[in-house]
Structure 1
């Protein structure tokens, strides 16, 4: 598994974009979607010096080349080209909240960061990362980061926060003790292109050709809401609809014990529950058991199992297809075991990015998620689990820094997205739907059924 040799790219020659970046450049370079923007916030308690923060951000950009990447337009080049900008081109801004009450000021600060995420990035000119320092009070700031997904992934956001405030707290950037960055993202992208060819590429394509047979690289959900399909009602407007649930202690402890006894993972349990709900919804719509039980959803792989890239900032993550056979309506514990096998098979073959897989095996859907027309995107289910049990925080003599979410109206491209956030003592579940496809009642019933399956597994697994 994953025998790619890491080879440094020649900085004096044209840099290559990765296969994942190339898909975006080829099909949606000038399309600005909220789905292609990542944001995070750091709540800073204590006196913060914006000038010193800017210098720390310059040092951060020097440390991680991905934060300085741009993608010049070069019609004659193949594979997509990238270039590095100077660290001094920061995209750093200072803002002030005007509310007198700190809670109102924090809401205003979050809104300012969310607003910055709506401003399109110029992929050719950059910068592709923006840092906002929002003053709420003299001793309370929100440092918000907005980045185009083409240069960073979700894991990179935590790394950026860690390194930024370590650099800020140091007497000088040279004095800070940070783990070395062993691999810069341009080197990873270069190595990926050298590795994914010949017999290696053929072996991986053979595996994914079998897994995608009959469902494609963007597997259709076959889900619909009769209420939104009702011709006698006004068509709902496209927008974000969110429903949430929480697994609280002691239920979380019992769930973890059940997972341990089953030799499974939380991801397998949640994935199994999601797919069984999809299967039942399909049956209710009149599909046969064989049609309803072949369930494939879109997931995401962090792609950071190699120790050399664990401290690297870049776009390493890749979408993936998670397909499981439920046609015989297995007991839920059996389904969890099947889902575990699905996840293990995907992890063993994750070195083939979804973009290259799609280009080679399902070219009709290459880049479709990056195009501007929402109607061109087939309906699919997206599934994400994040482990944030030890939520990052930073404390020095004067400051206390904690990461915080920046709420945004990010409508799922496929219509349905289930996010699970493991926060240790509790687990947050969020169902996001496109309101034009799936209404409130449909979403509430879907989430209720999902939580009931997880609850049943918890009760039975710990008996």
Structure 2
């Protein structure tokens, strides 16, 4: 009964049958994480993140819960304890990595997280200022700065931190664009803060009289993708309440980010991490560097400069890819990873390669409503055999991903220390490309009296050589965004790679899963004709 109630709660279903499949009902890895977290809390059972994948019906999962060992301590559902506020507050492992990077090379905008909203209508500026102040007051992460103590970073949570809503009124569309671009890359000072900025850029004269662009910029050390969904939901509620002159209906937060950081530090000792590190040492032993062909020589020191290329994945392709995955007991995210790895393998001529992927790091119910930096990077390694079919590749990616989930407690920074102590400054450690399905809960901004449209920000940085992110769309399609290093790639090269991805995904999703991969082309009809003409020319010597 409890399992069925939790499923219905997480999936938004009225009722769930005992033998219905979780993933057929629309569940994914994020929803699965919520289910496991809630069952730990309600039933006190020690469940791993992969339990639901191995037991995808209510009946089988209930049996697994009965057989699971009883948990004890916060890792198994106990509350995250309140950290004492009478001394230095530690950084989480994820924060510590970004703090060290900032200490080593301050003044970078590489870790700015930017959201841009196109607003049409009469904006209530005082209400917006009230909403921003309310959001900052609600989340300690947004009132945090970082102070070095004895060579280590610590968190300083301020009782009050003023975050102004700045307004720009440019004289031309070019000036408006320049203001947004400058804001997106302007660095933060981690020591003084605030680490959130709000800029409203009015439309230039001659454009829409009631149009503007609202840009929210946060440093990654206090936010992540899941957090930005919380920001959207709560800023909308706070703005609406300010417009109406009523109290916002937001629930009290059961914990704050510094509590999580202290709890994580106390829990993830070297002894606790050793079994997980042993897995990663074996899994990544002998991992080659991904070496894709580039348009320009790789610089001696990676700069982080980047640009974006976006493309839609049509509904029929996204749905077919998800169905192909479900037939193998996998998720859409796993299918996207498999297709991306195959494209990269073909472009680089490598059959053994790894990509990074992001996991939410929120395997505890108290963390679901917090703004903060919880996300962790997992390394997914595949050995691609083009004599096998897409089904075999999906099976491999599924197994690799579930094993990575089981060992996700290891912070990426700790993994780098363990496996890549000798850094190559021209590359990111361990993985040079990443692929992520952004399926974390993501509410849209809804501001009364305004038409709000989220737009692509003017991003000029990238965390990897190539970073592919997919976001679900209401029509069941996907919106893909590739951020890429402009030190290495021309825009046309990335556009061509995106075209190869879409062509390959379409063929794999709708084709025979046992057909050898080497028989599935990734070139579209025009490129195939061009390649054939070139080959005939070489054969005749012309």
TM-score computed with the length of structure 1 as normaliser: 0.83
> Aligned match of 2:248 in 176, 196, 200?
176
> Aligned match of 1:72 in 147, 153, 166?
147
> Residues 34 and 133 of structure 1: is their aligned pair in 2 closer, same or farther, counting only changes over 3 Å?
same
Q: Equivalences for 1:171-210 in 2 at 5 Å?
A: 171=242, 175-210=247-282
- Could you report, residue by residue, the CA deviation over 1:74-131 in whole angstroms, capped at 9, with x for unpaired residues? 2x154x21101243421431222444xxxx5xx8656533321222211111111111
> Aligned match of 1:254 in 320, 328, 348?
320
Partner of 1:457: 508
Distance 1:173 1:348 in 2: 47
> Aligned match of 2:478 in 414, 421, 427?
427
> Residues 392 and 440 of structure 1: is their aligned pair in 2 closer, same or farther, counting only changes over 3 Å?
closer
Is residue 375 from structure 1 mapped to residue 442 from structure 2 by the alignment? no
Q: Equivalences for 1:233-382 in 2 at 5 Å?
A: 240=306, 242-283=308-349, 292-327=350-385, 329-365=387-423, 375=426, 377=428, 380-382=432-434
> Residues 95 and 246 of structure 1: is their aligned pair in 2 closer, same or farther, counting only changes over 3 Å?
same
> Aligned match of 1:61 in 120, 136, 155?
136
Is residue 392 from structure 1 mapped to residue 440 from structure 2 by the alignment? no
Distance 2:267 2:304 in 1: 42
Distance 1:240 1:207 in 2: 33
Partner of 2:112: 37
- Could you report, residue by residue, the CA deviation over 1:181-201 in whole angstroms, capped at 9, with x for unpaired residues? 222111110000000015322
Q: Kindly state the Cα deviation for residue 402 of structure 1 after the two structures are TM-superposed.
A: 4.0
Query: Whose RCO is larger (CA < 8 A, sep 6+)?
Result: 1
The answer to whether the 8 Å contact 1:297/1:321 transfers is yes
Q: Kindly state the Cα deviation for residue 144 of structure 1 after the two structures are TM-superposed.
A: 1.4
Q: Kindly state the Cα deviation for residue 435 of structure 1 after the two structures are TM-superposed.
A: 3.6
Is residue 12 from structure 1 mapped to residue 93 from structure 2 by the alignment? no
Partner of 2:488: 437
- Could you report, residue by residue, the CA deviation over 1:399-434 in whole angstroms, capped at 9, with x for unpaired residues? 444433312222x34322222222232222333332
> Residues 270 and 153 of structure 1: is their aligned pair in 2 closer, same or farther, counting only changes over 3 Å?
same
> Aligned match of 2:467 in 371, 394, 417?
417
The answer to whether the 8 Å contact 1:40/1:145 transfers is yes
Is residue 84 from structure 1 mapped to residue 157 from structure 2 by the alignment? yes
Distance 2:346 2:356 in 1: 18
- Could you report, residue by residue, the CA deviation over 1:274-313 in whole angstroms, capped at 9, with x for unpaired residues? 1112222333xxxxxxxx3221112211212322211100
Structure 1: segments with no counterpart, 5+ residues: 231-236, 284-291, 369-373
Partner of 1:96: 169
The answer to whether the 8 Å contact 2:143/2:157 transfers is yes
The answer to whether the 8 Å contact 1:300/1:318 transfers is yes
Larger radius of gyration: 2
Q: Kindly state the Cα deviation for residue 207 of structure 1 after the two structures are TM-superposed.
A: 1.9
Distance 2:131 2:158 in 1: 17
> Aligned match of 2:235 in 150, 164, 187?
164
Distance 2:138 2:245 in 1: 10
Aligned pairs, number = 428
> Residues 377 and 258 of structure 1: is their aligned pair in 2 closer, same or farther, counting only changes over 3 Å?
closer
Q: Kindly state the Cα deviation for residue 328 of structure 1 after the two structures are TM-superposed.
A: 6.5
Please identify runs of 4+ aligned residues in structure 1 that moved more than 6 A: none
- Secondary structure of 1:363's partner? coil
Distance 2:318 2:365 in 1: 30
Partner of 2:457: 406
- Could you report, residue by residue, the CA deviation over 1:23-78 in whole angstroms, capped at 9, with x for unpaired residues? 2222332433333110102333332222222122111111000001111132x154
> Aligned match of 1:52 in 112, 115, 127?
127
| RMSD, aligned CA | 3.0
- Could you report, residue by residue, the CA deviation over 1:236-287 in whole angstroms, capped at 9, with x for unpaired residues? x99645544322234434333333334322211111111112222333xxxx
The answer to whether the 8 Å contact 1:204/1:352 transfers is yes
Partner of 1:24: 98
Q: Kindly state the Cα deviation for residue 377 of structure 1 after the two structures are TM-superposed.
A: 4.3
- Secondary structure of 2:147's partner? coil
The answer to whether the 8 Å contact 1:43/1:403 transfers is yes
> Aligned match of 2:289 in 220, 239, 245?
220
The answer to whether the 8 Å contact 2:276/2:410 transfers is yes
Partner of 1:117: 184
